[in-house]
Chains A and B, each alone.
Chain A
Amino acid sequence: MYDFNYHRPKSLADAQAALKGKPEARPMSGGMTLIPTLKQRLAKPSDVVDLGGIKELAGIKVEGGGVTIGGMTKHYDVSVSPEVKSNIPALAQLAGHIGDPAVRNRGTMGGSVANNDPAADYPAAVVALNATVTTTAGKHSADSFFKGLFETALKDGELITSISFPKPEKAAYMKFPNPASRYAMVGVFVAKTKDGVRVAVTGAGPCVFRVKAMEDALSKNFSSAAIKDIKVPADGLNSDIHASAEYRAHLVGVMARRAVDAANK
């Protein structure tokens, strides 16, 4: 690990001040990606601004017919939250299967969404549930937030304060974990709302994406049979020692069908 200046502000305003004018400064939420990156000397930030001391950023509220979750809310807290479990059980279930207990007790929703790891779970939930990402600069729709591999709509110094998830009629997340890392090799979040069905895929491509053909079919008939013949093209999907693009494309179909079945249970 290279040396850096460490800050632990107590308020959002102090955090923004600590980041301001420092292009090499990095905010840190749970640190579950940043700390290993630092330890491996793969990043050399001038400053690390630890958001862990900002009380206002953590917490779960039921409001506006959905659930709003503070950016610094830990995966564990999401997974056991009665509010989340009663309104969006699929989201609680997803949170309960991120990483391992140590990661779930440190890692945060805002950190995961801001990092936009192609194999992270939360981006699939944000997109499928059509959540709204609220930041220090304003609001982003789910579809406009995730831009590409580790890329989001966040500008330098912009911090996620909360994410608001509308309550779906039905939803489920199915993850096929990478055998080694247990990140999502393919994860499919399916959500049925009054506006239709959204199917969001993580792990398979460079960034979370929606499968329109499945959404259209499921909007007409929300059953796994409705999508059994829909093939996702392998073009542009990730290929590595654990899964070829073709295998990932195949798994998207399997996980989507299983997610629909689970949502219907």
Chain B
Amino acid sequence: MTAETGIGARVKRKEDQRFLTGTGRYVDDLPLARATYAYFLRSPHAHARIKSIDTSKAKAMPGVVEIFTGKDTADAKMGGLICGWVVKDKHGQPHKAPPHPVMALDTVRYVGDTVAMVVANSHDEAKDAAEAIKVDYEVKPSNVDLAKALKGAPEVHAEAPGNLIYDWEIGVKADVDAAFAKAAHVTKLDIVNNRLIPNAMEPRAAAADYDRGTGNYTLWSTSQNPHVLRLILSAFVLGIPEHKLRVIAPDVGGGFGSKIFCYNEETMLTWAASRVGRPIKWTAERAESFMTDAHGRDHVTHAELALDKDGKFLGLKVDTIANMGAYLSTFSTAVPTYLYATLLAGQYTTPLIYANVKAALTHTAPVDAYRGAGRPEATFVIESIVSKAAKELKMDPAELRRKNFIPKEAFPYQTPVALQYDSGNYPPIIDEAMKIADYKGFEARRAEAKSRGKLRGIGFSSYIEACGLAPSQVIGQLGGGVGQWESAQIKFNPTGNVQILTGAHSHGQSHETTFAQIVSDKLGVPLEQIEVVHGDTATTPFGMGSYGSRSLAVGGSAIMKAADKVIAKGKKIAAHLMEASVADVVFENGVFKVAGTDKNVPLGQAVFAAYVPHNYPLQELEPGMDENAFYDPANFVYPAGTQICEVEVDPDTGTVEVIAHTAVDDFGNIINPMIVEGQVHGGIVQGVGQALLENAVYDKETGQLMSGSYMDYTMPRADDVPSFKLGYKVTPCPHNPLGVKGCGEAGAIAAPAAVMNAVHDALVPLGVTHVPMPATPLNVWQAIHGGK
């Protein structure tokens, strides 16, 4: 039984029955009696003072129930949205924390900022009324350009003079400078990590209801972490006690990080539900998603790598400006610091690293974690500069990497940027990737392409990530405002079937299958008798949700701990039933046995005895079989791998075609290879999207979002990518019970550098040394032709 459905089995996804037959239940699908519909009036300006808002005409329109503005939230003394991670700057001072009102009070700070909320009997009536609201704006100068944000650009908040949120550093600059003084070669790199818009398939949505009989609130939200959302709303923003607020995140169609955060709209809905006295629903239109979902990436970086005469890395210096947007989103401050600069060692023994990160405000949508969150940016810096160094030194890019890899014997390996890598073995990964990609045959393929007028290039990206967030005490020391453990409950029913309740949340990760496989494997319960329950604060134990490739490494480990408790209790029950000593009972394939005898008690019989305890050691043991566990990891987990991308550039048009893309990953042990492949495929496509297609562009004069629809924001499509070639190497994680590392972000972390290195390699014959990302046809053509 477990061979087909247990750990390592390619089990078809349990959730696909409903997803593929149209019976998933998303927030917008909720039938709520007497529901009203919210529509948010948003700022058309990047920066303006609100002189007045006149809602009188709108309030009189058909179907309008109520209209709220910032004044109503101020009158109600509503708290602002919070940034949950305090980053201390290089002088030890906490970052600047400008207020983030749920509705704009007297100033709007980006196109899309929330100005008024109309509640009406229908969506169209709410929208009609919003158009009738008269807002008198005094337009003020704005800045959307990150490169100018800290150079005297118009200020976004008075509380952050010069638009600086923090000036942070890691490493000792003088030591790194000394290493550079001894270098035989220094490679310099100036890059922009392009801004991305997450584009989950399901837009953000919320529905809120208030029961005046009990005083209980219910919020349905497209959240990746319903308990965290409830905690923030309760403790910081609305003051509704946690036990009176239930947050439900039902089926959620993708998040990629953008649904971690606590947003204005769901906050307003919850607050307004009690004032309106009817349920309120809201689903973002796609244009609103583009404008107001927290965006990702958006760094401007200068980096320098010092090497000795043999190509050994001596030191790395990185200066980065990170865009925060107009307000600090929930975890925004941590992304370019603890999830970015701490990764700058990559897979290498670089002994000295210094990074300076300045977080800056601009009149744009907030920027926060997006698939990979900091780690793609770090990988892009490291893997771009390493490939550039190889070119400058005329070394093979794989050889330069191999020369500097952390050797297998060095693990656990303490990097100079705080992290301690627990395990890994990098050389066999790159070897396998080169074999799969037929690196040896590349020059012949390049020559063949040239005969067709195409420029072929190959690019490497050897990434490391720290995920499985995270040891709570480390997070606390670094300024994080929450614990980062995960919870699980394994609840047997009397007839022997199982519910796994998890604090993680699945919005595409396939927990309902993977978690069930763990329990099936561990407890010998058939997969079809296991149900995974998640996403409801009223039914699941408090948990931290899903992001940072943490669900399996942390949530899966909690499930293992709970399963251990089930086995321990089951042994006592079985020992009683078999009249044996507990010490003699073993548990194998779902059956308790006494070694050396034919006595046995299947788990189901022990469970039944626990619920119908007629023959049961009630003096020593509680009835029931319902075990809880919380798991706080000892360290991050460190997936690593190498991607190799092969492209062809059409020099006449600047078009880049991805011909082949190989990924070899070490994710530790793998529960379901099919699901891992899906995660890697999706991640690579997002990475290729960043490298070649996607770019969030604001108009520098007006601050309008130019790439505000699919007409202008280029999402990757199936015909933009080839079939991928995947491989695995396994070094099990030594500190979690499953030996797993996490696979959700790896593809997106590694791919941009692999693709861009391939593009640069292809363009060497034309003397091109820099192509901005994304390498769109225009950018490539301009790089070839000197920037027209």
Contact = CB atoms under 8 A, between A and B. Distances in A.
Contact of A242 (B127, B652, B712): B712
B707 A179 contact: no
B653 A180 contact: no
Interface stretch (A47-55, A67-75, A126-134, A246-254): A246-254
A241 B706 contact: yes
Contacts of B77: none
A254 B707 contact: no
B778 interface: yes
B778 A244 contact: yes
Nearest to A40: B287
B229 interface: no
A243 interface: yes
Nearest to B710: A180
A251 B785 CA distance: 13
Contact of B697 (A181, A241, A254): A241
Contacts of B158: none
B778 A180 contact: no
Interface string B746-788: 0000000000000000000000000000001110011001001
Contact of A247 (B710, B712, B788): B788
B710 A246 contact: no
A161 to B, nearest CB: 30
Contact of A176 (B653, B693, B710): B653
A241 B707 contact: yes
Contacts of B785: 250
A180 B712 contact: yes
Contacts of A240: 706, 712
A179 B776 contact: yes
Interface string A232-265: 0000000011111011001100100000000000
A247 B782 contact: yes
A179 B131 CA distance: 33
Interface string B605-619: 000000000000000
A119 to B, nearest CB: 10
Interface residues of A, number: 17
Contacts of A40: 287
Contacts of B788: 244, 246-247
Dominant SS among interface residues on chain B:
loop
A255 B193 CA distance: 32
B72 to A, nearest CB: 26
A41 B714 CA distance: 23
Contact of B778 (A181, A242, A254): A242
Residue of B131, B652, B695, B715 ringed by the most chain A CB atoms within 10 A: B652
A230 to B, nearest CB: 15
Contacts of B124: 1
Contacts of A241: 695, 697, 706-707, 712
Nearest to A248: B778
Nearest to A243: B778
Interface in B140-175: none
A52 B356 CA distance: 63
Interface string B691-718: 0010101000000001100111111000
A233 to B, nearest CB: 13
A243 B653 CA distance: 11
Contacts of B706: 240-241
A181 B710 contact: yes
Interface string B642-662: 000000000011100000000
B652 A180 contact: no
A179 B697 contact: no
A201 to B, nearest CB: 15
A247 B654 CA distance: 10
Nearest to A185: B777
A247 B124 CA distance: 42
A179 B781 contact: no
Interface string B114-133: 00000000001001000100
21 contacts: A1-B124, A40-B287, A179-B714, A180-B693, A180-B710, A180-B712, A180-B713, A181-B710, A181-B711, A181-B712, A240-B706, A241-B706, A241-B712, A243-B778, A244-B782, A244-B788, A246-B788, A247-B777, A247-B778, A247-B781, A251-B653
Interface of A: 1, 40-41, 176, 179-181, 240-244, 246-247, 250-251, 254
Q: Which 8 residue pairs of A and B lie closest in terms of their CB atoms, listed nearest first?
A: A180-B714, A181-B711, A246-B788, A179-B714, A254-B652, A241-B697, A180-B712, A241-B706
